[in-house]
A and B are shown apart, each in its own frame.
Chain A
């Protein structure tokens, strides 16, 4: 005979305001199997939990229902309470009479009625609950960081300092990422390279960090604590163990190509490092543009290399490594402003992006830090900045705010005024958003001390007239049309997800949003975790972010990784899918539907009519299964059942409500 206890929580007045808790408790006492029912002001509090524990002892309860808030809030609390009372924690059910009832209904009579129904369902379910036990899986103490920008570097350094081995996989020839392209950083105007390159060197020299550059993630299998990651080492055509980074090869290489790092404003050679401070300082050959690979002739770099490091025969290599945790820090791309016909469809050479402007003012950039227009290399006197290009524009761009543009535009305008004394910097804006430490002060300084002119309004059109750019727009504060003859226009284009972000998310197995930004497990309380255990996020791959935010998130992700790797094994939730092999037909439908790649087929041997037969059935990997239940719905023969939410339990709830 099952003995159920029911505990109704008032949650102060949160529930009691709309639900007659006493009446719910009294009604619940009459439900089948219920031997005790009571209500209390704060069930989650210390005395509240004592009420539960005492009742369990006194009335010999073997399972309980707590009617209070969402299980997301206090399920762990009441499970612990069960454990300390000597019961299996999974013999407890929660009826959510707060979020699902009192908070969303105004009518107390109907609210009470609904609360009674919810409790009735929970009682029906708990009667069918069986004790579940947690199992454990071993944890491999090595971490993978995907992406070697500032977020990836910071995460790797923190994990490595804690004593764990960590690999940074970067698809470019050098680590450094976007921050390496940036000139100065707001709000302090310290030079980006001066604070980044030492960290790059730290990462390279750290005994616990392996830099795996010019490499990409090919495949990810396994689960938290035990990821099997296959990495593709792209053919560098240079033997890094022999190369000293002397630079003879790229000095002498005859082929010039537009540099990706300089965003088309400068050139590089076919054998190249992306920028002078590259780490590692070892070149790669861009085979699409190399004269030898195109025509079979040249070989200048090989002939001149003093250490014989150039190797044209290298091929891509695959390597599989086991990791306990993964940090994804793949960064962002810039919105392609060529969709904006009003700004010239990207055709005007002197209409550039903010990141291109960073290269123009950078001392190691294509103009050695002198601001020159791309078209005729003249020094521009009037520079117009347009904010929110692609951001906050549902028609042609993205609906979200890119968060960093207000600040970097203020920085750009300040630097223009600093570098060209007789210049005019005009910023067209929708809003100025400066939430950050010392950010507002920085913007105010741009206006008050540097005389940057802010015009509130959108630009309707840019067109070329002679060697000038005519910028037509509106000053909404004056209610007037304005026309500026500019020498150069800088667009604060939106931050968007990497074009291959979705592919990576599917490869690793975690979710991403409608804009391809990676989704955190909880927007407030679990901001660096994904829904996939053991996979963490850092930096702008999760959403637009500036450097301080990226670094904080990276350190937070590192702390999570260290927390995981500090254990030898970890307990797994028992609420996972289980296969009833006797009725599984091995159709495999569940495999394709599982978002966590947790189901595989396995072969079993059965005795049928005296003969041993082999057949295939589904097998759930307990390390990977997150208990979402998608497979149980897809299974045609109901062979899959979610522990703790079995078909029988769900039906019992439905029957309790409907019969």
Chain B
């Protein structure tokens, strides 16, 4: 299974472990991820706030390269995914928009192929049963709070996968690798995005309710598919805990890290040692770091 792969800027910087774990897991799952050559920034919120055409043209250039290669595109980052999907929809929606974009990027882009969230690829392209058969270190007893954030599955008209109010794909993947997803009400709450930095009195409060929600639901850790969510939840946890005279002790993982662990990868290959809240010690405590034999890679 070959897919074009767009890591985006987060996965080469703050979310580098998302990239490491994705590539490692993809090999095991038999996914051939072809990184889009000379990819550019998706524009994220900056382009979106500056100029509508710019916000469409930036993703379009990447998509055009993938289209030339005749491939669907897998996107791990929630923000990149949102921008790519919006571009795909705009181009499908209006021939006029398409012509303008093509002129700006100097390439043809007809939205012939589909942009997919990496979660979507895991559940619907690879398939849960395939993941299940490849597991050799089931994460039994690990209670995880699946956290999707506000952007990943919304607006549904554009993202077109999973449920906008009660998404379940991370839950399903966690069940497939033997972990236990807890039921909680904060799956799609906002992590605060830039607010923890810019307006901490607002942003940190939002994070606090998520930590508290995960803890009340009995979760050991939080699993996400968004680099910004992870950065906020991981980096600010100590600060929010101190403000509230508590320690949440909730390591935050990318879903690919836990899948990688369950498939038998070394935690360092997956980048699990790069978190603020000590994830390695946590996993060691849980007994998930004992070396496994015979990792079964998909051919």
Contacts and interface: CB of A to CB of B under 8 A. Distances in A.
A465 B186 CA distance: 10
A341 B216 contact: no
B165 A345 contact: yes
B273 interface: no
B218 to A, nearest CB: 10
Contact of B184 (A340, A342, A463): A463
B141 to A, nearest CB: 22
Given A465-B213, A465-B216, A466-B216, A341 B163 contact: yes
A45 interface: no
B180 to A, nearest CB: 17
B37 interface: no
| Interface footprint category on B | 10 to 19
Contacts of B186: 463
B163 A470 contact: no
Given A465-B216, A466-B216, A341 B165 contact: yes
A280 to B, nearest CB: 45
B183 interface: yes
Interface string B145-165: 000000000000000000111
Contacts of A470: 185
B2 to A, nearest CB: 34
Nearest to B189: A461
A464 B184 CA distance: 7
Interface in A328-349: 340-342, 344-345
B166 interface: yes
Nearest to A461: B185
Contacts of A461: 165, 185
A364 to B, nearest CB: 36
Contacts of B216: 465-466
Contacts of B166: 341, 344-345
B164 A463 contact: no
B164 A341 contact: yes
Interface in B116-165: 163-165
A649 B211 CA distance: 80
B212 to A, nearest CB: 10
Contacts of A345: 165-166
Contacts of A466: 216
Contacts of A340: 165
Interface residues of A, number: 11
A647 to B, nearest CB: 45
B165 A464 contact: no
B185 A342 contact: no
Interface string A104-139: 000000000000000000000000000000000000
Contacts of B185: 461, 463-465, 470
Nearest to B213: A465
Interface in A419-457: none
Nearest to B187: A463
Nearest to B167: A341
A60 to B, nearest CB: 69
Interface in B208-246: 213, 216-217
Contacts of A463: 184-186
A340 B166 CA distance: 10
A341 B164 CA distance: 8
Nearest to A470: B185
B268 to A, nearest CB: 37
Contacts of A342: 165
A466 B218 CA distance: 10
Contacts of B164: 341
A469 B164 CA distance: 20
Nearest to B209: A483
| Residue among A345, A463, A470 having the largest count of chain B Cβ atoms under 10 Å | A463
A463 B166 CA distance: 10
A485 to B, nearest CB: 12
Nearest to A464: B185
| Residue among B165, B184, B186, B216 having the largest count of chain A Cβ atoms under 10 Å | B165
A344 B184 CA distance: 12
Contacts of B165: 340-342, 345, 461
A487 to B, nearest CB: 16
B208 to A, nearest CB: 13
A461 B186 CA distance: 10
Interface string B168-202: 00000000000000011110000000000000000
Nearest to A340: B165
A464 B213 CA distance: 11
A618 to B, nearest CB: 49
B210 to A, nearest CB: 13
Nearest to A343: B165
Nearest to A342: B165
| Residue among B164, B166, B183, B216 having the largest count of chain A Cβ atoms under 10 Å | B166
Nearest to A339: B165
Nearest to B185: A463
A465 B216 CA distance: 8
A261 to B, nearest CB: 31
Nearest to B212: A465
A342 B188 CA distance: 11
A341 B166 CA distance: 6
A250 B205 CA distance: 58
A465 B209 CA distance: 12
Contacts of A344: 166
Interface in A344-363: 344-345
| Residue among A461, A464, A465 having the largest count of chain B Cβ atoms under 10 Å | A465
B163 A464 contact: no
Contacts of B163: 341
Nearest to A462: B185
A418 B166 CA distance: 36
Nearest to B188: A461
A200 to B, nearest CB: 42
A470 B189 CA distance: 13
Contacts of A464: 183, 185
Nearest to A344: B166
Contacts of B217: 465
A45 B173 CA distance: 81
A340 B185 CA distance: 15
A576 B164 CA distance: 55
A308 to B, nearest CB: 54
Nearest to B156: A341
B291 to A, nearest CB: 39
Contacts of A341: 163-166
A341 B187 CA distance: 12
A320 B165 CA distance: 51
Interface in B252-280: none
A170 B151 CA distance: 51
Interface string B4-24: 000000000000000000000
A466 B182 CA distance: 12
| Residue among B166, B185, B186 having the largest count of chain A Cβ atoms under 10 Å | B185
Interface string A458-484: 000101111000100000000000000
Contacts of B213: 465
Interface in B24-61: none
A272 B164 CA distance: 42
Contacts of A465: 184-185, 213, 216-217
B92 to A, nearest CB: 22
A464 B185 CA distance: 7
Interface of A: 340-342, 344-345, 461, 463-466, 470
The 10 closest A-B pairs by CB, nearest first: A341-B165, A463-B185, A341-B166, A342-B165, A470-B185, A465-B185, A465-B216, A341-B163, A345-B166, A341-B164
Interface of B: 163-166, 183-186, 213, 216-217
Given A341-B163, A341-B164, A465-B216, 9 more contacts: A340-B165, A341-B166, A344-B166, A461-B165, A463-B185, A463-B186, A464-B183, A465-B213, A465-B217
15 contacts: A341-B164, A341-B165, A341-B166, A342-B165, A345-B166, A461-B165, A461-B185, A463-B184, A463-B185, A463-B186, A464-B183, A464-B185, A465-B213, A466-B216, A470-B185
